[in-house]
Structure formats: C-alpha cells, structure tokens
Chain A
C-alpha cells in the first residue's frame, strides 16, 4: 500500500471536469485507488459520484491511497491530476 498527501490547486475545486480527469487517470490502473479528505471521508477515485461528494475546494489537503498492481505509478499519476489547475 502506498499513500501520500496532495493539495487541490484548481481555483474552482473538484467539479465535474476535474472529477472526470481524476477518474479517467485512476481507472487506467488495476490497483485500488482511494482518496481521503481531512475529515476522514474516503471514496474510490474511480467513481464520479464519490469524487463529487467529497466537495473538494482549492487548498484542501487530500490523501491518495493506492493498493495493488501499479500502486506506485498510480499514486503519482493521480496526485498529479489532483494538483492540476484546470481553469
């Protein structure tokens, strides 16, 4: 299992388009990819509803947890999308 904390950089937070980008990236990996917010809410990064439910805003800190095949690569790849500025 791998985990690392990232900061949301996008000014409008994680709305539909960023959530779509995160789930597409996460879905490229076979391993489990989960995102946990500071309050302990944890969702799969491979589902749109879960990602939107987190309601992530700019500067929120989230922990990405990966477990399984390709967990190291998945952690970095998903982290990169989380720190991407979309607008």
Chain B
C-alpha cells in the first residue's frame, strides 16, 4: 500500500484515581463480557469521577450513577460508577454537571460516597467503556495504577 490513511486516535485518561483493570473483573456479565462495549474498569481509591477527555456531557443518567461524555471525534464514553448502583436511586451520588454541559479533560463530573455505596453492598468498581462501538476501529487498553485526569487508560482508534 502506498497510501496509508491517517489514523485518528483519541486518548482517554482515567476518570478516577485507583487501579485500571480488565473488564472481566467486573461482577456483572453485561460489563465483564464487554456486551455493552469495550473498555476497562477502574477500582477507585477516591470518589470523584472526572472527564476522560474534552467533550460534552451526552447524558447524565437521572439516578446520577453513570454518565456519557462525547468527544468531537464521535467517540462516546460511558462511565458507570459501581455495579447495580441504579438501585440506590441517586443516594450517595452528587452530580456536578448536567446533560449538555461542555467539559474539559479532568473536570469533576460526579462525586460519590464510596463508603456509603459499599456499606449498601454494592461494589464501586467502575466500567469505562465505549457507548457507541460502531465508530470504534480498535481500543488499546492500559492497566495499572492511575491518577484521575492524568494517566491514559484507553487509546481509541476511530473508524474512517
């Protein structure tokens, strides 16, 4: 091939401080088997979720335990704090943004009370996944210790 198409890669930083691990560690098959989308999961050590990139809040779920940030490239990232936390009906979560807000990489989106959520019996492990896999060619995942807004966890190659 003489012509190589230029690839568009979107780097997404960790929305949480903690440890980035494989989705297979999430105790919910919908996430663990990447049925909802490919990505990683973060085991957080503190309760502030920040934006993984510059973008727009495509959706804040009304029980405040999950949100989607859309990047200019068309990539949409779903961050789902904990497992089955929809059941908490918003208790323990404090949103700092609303749907439609323009956000910067590293900007706090949702504060959550880790101790409270765990005391109710819900894991706080947080899947960070592609909400619209159809625009994604390939996802490169990075695991290990991460700092919110700082270390890249996903490099997303966007389809042409």
* A residues lining the B interface (CB < 8 Å): 12, 15-17, 20-21, 24, 27, 46-49, 52-53, 55, 87
* B residues lining the A interface (CB < 8 Å): 28, 30, 35-37, 58-59, 61-63, 66, 68, 70, 76, 78, 80, 84, 86-87, 99, 131-132, 134
The chain B residue with its CB closest to the CB of A27 is B134
Question: Mostly helix, strand, loop or mixed at chain A's interface?
Answer: helix
List, in ascending order, chain A residues with CB within 8 A of B70's CB: 49
List, in ascending order, chain A residues with CB within 8 A of B61's CB: 15-16, 52
List, in ascending order, chain B residues with CB within 8 A of A53's CB: 59, 99
Is B76 within 8 A of A49, CB to CB?
Answer: yes
Known contacts A15-B61, A17-B86, A48-B36, then 18 further A-B pairs from the complex at CB < 8 Å, ordered by chain A residue: A12-B86, A15-B66, A16-B36, A16-B61, A16-B86, A17-B28, A21-B30, A46-B134, A47-B132, A48-B37, A48-B68, A48-B131, A48-B132, A49-B59, A49-B70, A49-B131, A52-B68, A87-B87
Query: How long is the Cα–Cα vector from A27 to B131 in the complex, in angstroms?
Result: 13
The chain B residue with its CB closest to the CB of A52 is B59
Is B87 within 8 A of A16, CB to CB?
Answer: no
Is A49 within 8 A of B132, CB to CB?
Answer: yes
What are 5 pairs between A and B in contact, CB < 8 Å?
A15-B86, A48-B68, A49-B68, A49-B76, A87-B87
List, in ascending order, chain B residues with CB within 8 A of A49's CB: 58-59, 68, 70, 76, 131-132
